[in-house]
């Protein structure tokens, strides 16, 4: 019941109830113990007093017995009295007895003769018991209790002898109510005394609870009393007379009842004080607890709350601990919030915080001012990261962030991820300021970065979107700045571009083309066309270059220049290139054995570590000899991961695959590439062939390239040959083979066999011309 009650009530009520209950239990125990103690003490005292009263009765009666016995012996020894008894002189006997009774105040005195007569009393009951009395007296007792006429007497007896026993002289004192009352007055306590036979003892003495050797406690008429029954000596040992003392315990305890009432009153007063005190204590405990509860509730709602510490006790320490906990939570949340909104590497705002700050800035200007969002990333950062390691790359990013923060102190700068940063500048007045801002940012990268002993030089490409002209929405501005960055990277590194509406349309077209590319891969919309390579020395076809074409179901045939750059950027060139490689090998196996197939391989495919396995699978699946496959790579392949690229090329050469360097003379041409890897062929870029008939310098360049190739043991192929005169010059300058529209445009795979026969007849014409 208590367990069910406590949880449903307040802490104050529970504390008060518990203290009050404990007090009631304790004080009830005190009162109970006091009551038992008083009862025990009173009983023990009464036992002592009743024992004393019995001793007093015994002593008084002993004195009376001695007095009567002395008088009796004197009279029984008197010669005249004995003579009177001997001659049965009743008058003389009675006269002597009366004189003695008067003198000694003895109520009863008589003589019992040998013939059974009683002289001195007229009581017929006594007269009738003369023989019994004689027998009792003859038992040897000289004092004791004697039953006479239905009453109890304390009696003494003296034998009358002359010289034989001729009778008994008996003196008796009645033990009636009045006599016992007089006796009781001599007791130290107000007892009720009586002498009764054993069989006349009250039944309660036989059913009561013993409290001592001779005392019994019993209830009678709603009252508890203590009884003491003391056996008394009797004549003839008959009747077992007892001295019965009775004292009321109820009356004795009544003297202590005021004490119990005082205790009860004290208990009530103490209970009231306990209730008040415990309530005050509980309030003192609950008040700070409630304050803690209210503070905890505020903390749960996100507020920063603290509790006043008013003491140094447990509650004070609890309040201090709570405040410390709240401070720790605030500090942790601040740290978490900072981490959630800042870049851990540079400590700049991250993308999420930048968006929030941009949104706030757009609300502030409200279309009345101008705001620039600048997106930038580092040129060639991946190469630095890959060659020098990520720690160096991270250090470079931190250095860039520091420079941006120092030079653009009024701007908001964020790191969006990787090597991409964003800058937001408010209150820009005009287009001139925007250009100054862009040049200022690019100028930050003019100075070399000293990173862990490395002198690093990097540039940045920048895209800029301006509010409100380019949008007043966060997503729109960010998207437009990103589009401008993309266009800047397409234009070249280390430059910047402002957003133009046309970029959005181009981006949508690019997204649509990417989706179409994925569909084309899934639905196999690509075709492989083949363009022949003619060997000038042997005057015959030496190879066909495999060129991918996209037959779009709606837009028709899409040239490679429109989708290959996007495929390389999105990584889709990997599945496309793998398919082209398999198709080229499958077709080449049907050609004459002296004709090879050339396949272009993108740098993106080389970054895929599974390229060599793909080449082997294509050759194995088609059954094509490795030396009939020629892979064409461009010089851009050597910009990144040169060592890994060279290792892959050497592995391909080891199995017999030929490798040609395509578009030689453009981009990043370097003789170190030719020295690092022994290519089988160099393909001269068509830009040199176009100017061959117009500029004498082009002929010199062709002569230098072919001479270099001959010196290194490499073949040369001139691309983009469209006129016969170009063939004559190329032959004169030592070029190995030619490729171009002069021979043929790229043809479908099912046209190659017929084309070989047709081209062979043309070869005869070339021979004749030669």
pLDDT single digits (tens) 128-147:
677 677 777 766 667 778 77
Q: Is residue 218 part of a domain?
A: yes
On whether residue 266 sits in a domain, the answer given is: yes
Higher pLDDT, 476 or 302: 476
376 and 480 co-located in one domain: yes
Are 243 and 326 within one domain? no
Q: Are residue 144 and residue 49 in the same domain, yes or no?
A: yes
From residue 504, alpha-carbon distances to 82, 465, 477, 645 in Å are 168, 12, 12, 37
Task: Please give the pLDDT value at position 184.
Answer: 65
- pLDDT classification of 208: cutoffs 50, 70, 90: very low
Residue 32 has pLDDT above 70, yes or no: yes
In a domain, 751, yes or no: yes
In whole angstroms, what is the distance from residue 42 CA to residue 36 CA? 10
Q: Give mean pLDDT, residues 630-655.
A: 84
Among 253, 270, 297, the domain-final residue is 253
**Same domain? 294 vs 367:** no
353 shares its domain with 446: yes
Say whether pLDDT at 181 is over 50: yes
Q: What pLDDT is stored for residue 145 in this prediction?
A: 80
**pLDDT tops 70 at residue 486:** yes
Count the domains in the chain.
Answer: 4
pTM for the model: 0.54
The pLDDT of 252-277, averaged and rounded, is 73
More confident residue, 24 or 721: 721
**pLDDT of 234-249, one tens digit each?**
776 665 777 777 766 6
705 and 629 together in one domain: yes
pLDDT band at 211 (very low <50, low <70, confident <90, very high): very low
Is 67's pLDDT higher than 60?
yes
* 269 and 244 belong to one structural domain: no
Give the least confident one: 304-318, 357-371, 399-413.
Answer: 304-318
**CATH code at 684?**
3.20.20.450
Provide, rounded to the nearest whole percent, the portion of the chain with pLDDT above 90: 25
Same domain for 659 and 594? yes
CA distance 48 to 50: 6
What value does the mean pLDDT take over residues 540-561? Answer: 91
Supply the pLDDT for residue 79: 80
Question: What's phi and psi for 495, nearest 5 deg?
Answer: -135, 175
Contact 281, 15 (CB under 8 A): yes
Distance of CA 250 to the CA centre of its chain: 68
Three-state secondary structure string covering 152-166: EEEEEEEEEECCCEE
Residue 508 lies in a domain: no
Residue 28 lies in a domain: no
What does the alpha-carbon distance between residue 688 and residue 695 come to, in Å, rounded to a whole number? 9
Residue 151 belongs to domain with CATH number: 3.30.450.20
Verify that 738 and 661 share a domain, yes or no: yes
What is the average per-residue pLDDT within 350-360?
93
Q: What is the CATH number for 458?
A: 3.30.70.270
In a domain, 517, yes or no: no
In a domain, 6, yes or no: no
Residue whose entry in the numeric block shows the structure tokens 């009561």: 208
pLDDT at 177: 65
Residues 756 and 669 in one domain: yes
301-325 mean pLDDT? 71
More confident residue, 427 or 724: 724
Residue 76 pLDDT class (50, 70, 90 cuts)? confident
pLDDT (mean) for 203-220: 55
Give the residue numbers spanning the domain of 475. Answer: 348-499
Q: How confident is the model at residue 312 (pLDDT cuts 50, 70, 90)?
A: low
Helices marked H in 186-255 — which ranges? 203-207, 249-254
pLDDT at 212: 43
The 10 Å CB-count burial string (b at 16+, else e) for 48-66 is: ebbbebbebbeeebeebbe
Of the three residues 234, 253, 272, the one that is the final residue of a domain is 253
Residues 82 and 227 in one domain: yes
Q: How confident is the model at residue 601 (pLDDT cuts 50, 70, 90)?
A: very high
Query: Mean pLDDT over residues 26-32, rounded?
Result: 73
For tokens 């034989």, name the residue.
Answer: 164
Q: What is the pLDDT of residues 391-412, one digit of tens each?
A: 999 999 999 999 999 988 888 9
Q: Is residue 511 part of a domain?
A: no
The stretch 42-46 carries a mean pLDDT of: 67
Task: Verify that 218 and 143 share a domain, yes or no.
Answer: yes
Each residue of 77-113: pLDDT tens digit? 788 888 888 777 878 888 888 887 787 778 888 888 8
Q: Which of 253, 275, 302 is the last residue of a domain?
A: 253
What is the C-alpha separation between 99 and 74, in angstroms, rounded? 13
């Amino acid at each position: 019941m208590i367990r069910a009650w406590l949880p449903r009530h307040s802490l104050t009520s529970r504390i008060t109830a518990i203290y009050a209950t404990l007090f009631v239990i304790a004080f009830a125990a005190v009162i109970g113990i006091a009551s038992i103690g008083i009862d025990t003490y009173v009983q023990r005292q009464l036992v002592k007093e009743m024992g004393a009263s019995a001793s007093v009765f015994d002593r008084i009666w002993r004195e009376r017995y001695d007095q009567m016995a002395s008088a009796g012996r004197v009279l029984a020894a008197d010669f005249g009295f004995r003579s009177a008894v001997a001659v049965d002189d009743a008058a003389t006997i009675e006269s002597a007895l009366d004189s003695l009774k008067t003198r000694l105040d003895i109520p009863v005195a008589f003589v019992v003769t040998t013939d059974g007569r009683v002289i001195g009393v007229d009581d017929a009951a006594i007269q009738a018991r003369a023989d019994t009395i004689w027998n009792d007296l003859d038992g040897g007792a000289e004092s004791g209790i004697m039953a006479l006429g239905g009453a109890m007497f304390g009696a003494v007896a003296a034998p009358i002898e002359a010289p034989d026993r001729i009778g008994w002289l008996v003196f008796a004192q009645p033990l009636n109510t009045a006599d016992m009352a007089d006796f009781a007055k001599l007791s130290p306590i107000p007892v009720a005394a009586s002498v009764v036979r054993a069989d006349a003892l009250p039944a309660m003495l036989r059913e009561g609870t013993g409290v001592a050797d001779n005392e019994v406690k019993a209830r009678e008429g709603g009252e508890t009393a203590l009884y003491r029954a003391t056996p008394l000596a009797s004549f003839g040992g008959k009747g077992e007379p007892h001295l019965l003392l009775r004292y009321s315990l109820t009356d004795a305890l009544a003297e202590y009842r005021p004490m119990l009432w005082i205790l009860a009153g004290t208990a009530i007063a103490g209970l009231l004080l306990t209730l008040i005190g415990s309530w005050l204590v509980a309030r003192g405990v609950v008040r700070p607890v409630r304050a803690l509860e209210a503070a905890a509730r505020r903390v749960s709602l996100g507020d920063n709350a603290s509790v006043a510490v008013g003491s140094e006790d447990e509650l004070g320490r609890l309040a201090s601990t709570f405040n410390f906990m709240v401070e720790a939570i605030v500090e942790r949340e601040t740290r978490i919030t900072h981490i959630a909104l800042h870049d851990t590497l540079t400590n700049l705002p991250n993308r999420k915080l930048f968006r929030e700050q941009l949104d706030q800035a757009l609300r502030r200007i409200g279309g009345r001012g101008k705001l620039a969002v600048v997106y930038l990333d580092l040129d060639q950062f991946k190469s630095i990261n890959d060659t020098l390691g990520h720690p160096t790359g991270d250090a470079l990013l931190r250095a860039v962030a520091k420079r941006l923060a120092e030079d653009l102190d009024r701007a908001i700068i964020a790191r969006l991820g990787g090597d991409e940063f964003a800058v937001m500048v408010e209150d820009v007045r005009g287009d001139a300021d925007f250009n100054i801002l862009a040049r200022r940012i690019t100028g930050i990268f003019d100075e070399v970065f000293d990173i862990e002993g490395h002198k690093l030089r990097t540039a940045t490409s920048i895209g800029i979107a301006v509010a409100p002209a380019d949008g007043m929405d966060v997503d729109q501005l960010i998207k437009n700045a990103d589009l401008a960055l993309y266009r800047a990277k397409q234009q070249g590194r280390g430059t910047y571009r402002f957003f133009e509406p046309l970029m959005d349309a181009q981006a949508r077209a690019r997204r649509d083309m990417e989706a179409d590319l994925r569909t084309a891969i899934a639905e196999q919309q690509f075709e492989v066309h083949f363009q022949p390579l003619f060997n000038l020395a042997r005057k015959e076809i030496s190879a066909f270059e495999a060129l991918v074409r996209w037959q779009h179901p709606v837009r028709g045939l899409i040239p490679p220049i429109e989708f290959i750059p996007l495929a390389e950027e999105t990584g889709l060139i990997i599945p496309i290139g793998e398919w082209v490689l398999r198709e080229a090998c499958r077709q080449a196996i049907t050609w004459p054995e002296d004709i090879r197939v050339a396949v272009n391989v993108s740098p993106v495919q080389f970054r895929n570590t599974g390229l060599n396995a793909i080449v082997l699978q294509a050759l194995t699946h088609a059954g094509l000899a490795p030396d009939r496959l020629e892979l064409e790579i461009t010089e851009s392949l050597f910009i990144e991961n040169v060592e890994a690229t060279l290792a892959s090329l050497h592995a391909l050469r080891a199995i017999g695959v030929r490798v040609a360097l395509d578009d030689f003379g453009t981009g990043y041409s370097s003789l170190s590439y030719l020295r690092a890897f022994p290519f089988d062929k160099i393909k001269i870029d068509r830009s040199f062939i176009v100017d061959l008939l117009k500029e004498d310098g082009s002929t010199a360049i062709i002569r230098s390239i072919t001479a270099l190739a001959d010196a290194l043991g490499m073949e040369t192929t001139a691309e983009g040959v469209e006129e016969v005169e170009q063939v004559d010059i190329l032959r004169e300058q030592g070029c190995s083979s030619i490729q171009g529209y002069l021979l043929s445009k790229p043809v479908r795979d099912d046209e190659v066999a017929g084309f070989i026969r047709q081209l062979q007849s043309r070869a005869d014409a070339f021979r004749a011309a030669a």
